[in-house]
């Protein structure tokens, strides 16, 4: 019988769809009897999306203008 630790170590392979059938069966059995690990799985799965939203950045207008100027000057001098 897999423990919580064994199951949590498998979560990435599970989400990537890369588990062996044997591991998949053990994980399924563990999750059926362990509500905390089901919550853990849900929150583990939600983590990357939340982080992606929290870390979104746009280029400030001033730097965008500088980028355009830089590229124009470099490309002009090369041609």
Q: Which residues bind other proteins (CB under 8 A)?
A: 3-6, 8-9, 11-12, 36-37, 39-40, 42-60, 63-64, 66-68, 70-72, 74-75
CB of 21 to other proteins, least distance (A): 19
C-alpha 12 chain-centroid distance: 10
d(CA 13, CA 59): 35
CB of 56 to other proteins, least distance (A): 7
The CB-side HSE value for 3 (13 A sphere, CA atoms) comes to 2
Which tokens go with 55?
A: 């870390």
CB of 50 to other proteins, least distance (A): 5
């Amino acid at each position: 019988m897999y423990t919580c630790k064994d199951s949590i170590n498998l979560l990435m392979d599970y989400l990537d769809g890369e588990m062996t059938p044997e591991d998949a069966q053990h994980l399924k059995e563990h999750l059926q009897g362990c509500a905390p690990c089901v919550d853990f799985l849900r929150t583990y799965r939600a983590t990357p999306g939340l982080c992606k939203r929290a870390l979104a950045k746009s280029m400030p207008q001033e730097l965008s203008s500088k980028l355009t100027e830089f590229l124009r000057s470099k490309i002009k001098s090369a041609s």
